[in-house]
């Protein structure tokens, strides 16, 4: 008996899988999400560059479906993917022409460098969330249903805190056109000139944007998943249930967070500069101007959330089944 327990250790995690298996599941989900969502952002950036070419030194936001990245234009590079020649009449036309003229691989332009940041951030985020949720459910007792809310917020704080310095260094290296051999010099220069805190520049605004969304997302996702399972009289969620729950939760969470932030800005707590900017937007474009960019963000975030969470849950289910079969075989 002792020999079997040593040869076939049983995962101690309450979800039936080990933290390492959770990391593998989130990693595979991150890669698949990037493969599906990146083409949408590549086309968006190409359309933006066509309308208003990016000058040297200007930054643009690139999203691989997992996180936003600040990319610095380097017009000295004639092969820069974001400024390749071409005239597009819309999103579908851009897809067709890019594939026809530049090959299907061009739809994933700029993806490898951003995955260096996105995959570790996603692995940390999802693994921490599951571990925190399991621990909080035990400690919160009668309030266990609110565990996803707190776990989602804490997990996002942790991942942002770890990744922020790395993302800032990556952006500095890109803007200075430094090689990875010069990485230590870039870090020493930033610390020497601006102090250690400079490595976390932008940490606060990022938390204000991501933490409320993360808390709302996980709370809505767990609620939606449980409701759909109950409605369909099943104990374990199917791929379709996790996909739908992820998409709906992502969309609802964006709307909820945007509304809350708008209410905060309009309150007396908002700074005079923020209020003046918002007043100008409303005066020029009406109230709808405050929500410009909401629909494109939903179109991008909803499928990204759906793909990521459904792949992650599928991976966890695979490992859980593997562990159960291993345990049964060790007992026979």
Question: Residue 312: its pLDDT value, please?
Answer: 94
Question: Which of 88-102, 165-179, 205-219 shows the lowest mean pLDDT across its residues?
Answer: 165-179
Report the pLDDT averaged over residues 30-58.
83
Question: Residue 63: its pLDDT value, please?
Answer: 76
Place of tokens 């040297």: 56
**Structural domains present in the chain:** 19-331 (1.50.40)
Reference 206, options 58, 36, 70, 312; nearest CA is: 70
Question: Which of 31-45, 106-120, 159-173 shows the lowest mean pLDDT across its residues?
Answer: 159-173
- Please return the burial class of 31, using the count of CB atoms within 10 Å of its CB with bins 0-12, 13-18 and 19+: middle
Question: Residue 7: its pLDDT value, please?
Answer: 47
Model pTM score: 0.78
Residue 63, beta-bridge partner list? 68
Tell which wins on pLDDT, 57 or 1.
57
Report the pLDDT averaged over residues 63-85.
68
Cα gap 117→167, rounded to integer Å = 7
**Does the pLDDT value for residue 106 go beyond 70?**
yes
**Does the pLDDT value for residue 3 go beyond 50?**
no
Angstrom CA distances, 136 to 129, 144, 213, 236, stand at 10, 7, 19, 21
Report the pLDDT averaged over residues 60-83.
68
Structure tokens at 56: 């040297």
Please report which confidence band the pLDDT of residue 254 belongs to, taking 50, 70 and 90 as the band edges: confident
Reference 58, options 48, 66, 68; nearest CA is: 48
Report the pLDDT averaged over residues 45-64.
75
| Backbone torsions φ then ψ of 102, nearest 5 degrees | -115, -5
Between the two ends of the chain, the Cα-to-Cα distance in Å is: 11
| Mean pLDDT of the chain, nearest integer | 80
Question: Which of 134-148, 182-196, 229-243, 278-292 shows the lowest mean pLDDT across its residues?
Answer: 278-292
Cα gap 174→186, rounded to integer Å = 11
Question: Residue 179: its pLDDT value, please?
Answer: 58
**Contact predicate 98/46, CB 8 Å:** yes
């Amino acid at each position: 008996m002792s020999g079997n327990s040593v040869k076939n250790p049983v995962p101690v995690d309450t979800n039936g899988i080990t933290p390492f298996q959770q990391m593998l599941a989130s990693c595979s989900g991150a890669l698949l999400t990037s493969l599906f969502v990146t083409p949408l952002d590549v086309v968006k950036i190409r359309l933006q560059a066509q309308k208003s070419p990016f000058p040297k030194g200007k930054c643009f936001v690139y999203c691989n479906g997992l996180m936003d990245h600040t990319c610095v234009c380097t017009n000295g590079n004639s092969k820069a993917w974001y400024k390749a020649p071409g005239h597009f009449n819309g999103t579908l036309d851009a897809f067709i022409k890019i594939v026809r003229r530049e090959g299907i691989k061009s739809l994933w332009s700029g993806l490898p460098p951003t995955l260096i940041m996105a995959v570790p951030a996603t692995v940390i985020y999802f693994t921490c969330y599951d571990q925190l949720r399991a621990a909080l459910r035990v400690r919160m007792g009668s309030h266990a249903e609110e565990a996803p809310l707190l776990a989602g917020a804490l997990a996002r704080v942790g991942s942002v805190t770890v990744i922020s310095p790395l993302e800032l260094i990556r952006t500095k290296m890109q803007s200075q056109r430094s090689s990875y051999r010069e990485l230590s010099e870039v870090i020493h220069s930033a610390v020497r000139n601006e102090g250690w805190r400079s490595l976390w520049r932008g940490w606060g605004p990022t938390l204000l944007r991501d933490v409320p969304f993360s808390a709302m997302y996980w709370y809505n996702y767990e609620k939606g998943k449980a409701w759909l399972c109950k409605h369909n009289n099943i104990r374990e969620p199917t791929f379709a249930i996790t996909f739908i729950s992820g998409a709906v939760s992502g969309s609802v969470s964006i709307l909820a967070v945007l509304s809350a932030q708008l209410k905060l800005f309009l309150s007396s707590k908002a700074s005079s500069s923020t209020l003046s900017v918002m007043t100008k937007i409303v005066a020029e474009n009406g109230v709808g101007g405050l929500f410009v960019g909401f629909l494109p963000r939903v179109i991008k975030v909803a499928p990204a959330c759906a793909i990521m969470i459904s792949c992650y849950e599928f991976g966890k289910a695979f490992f859980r089944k593997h562990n159960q079969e291993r345990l049964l075989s060790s007992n026979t």
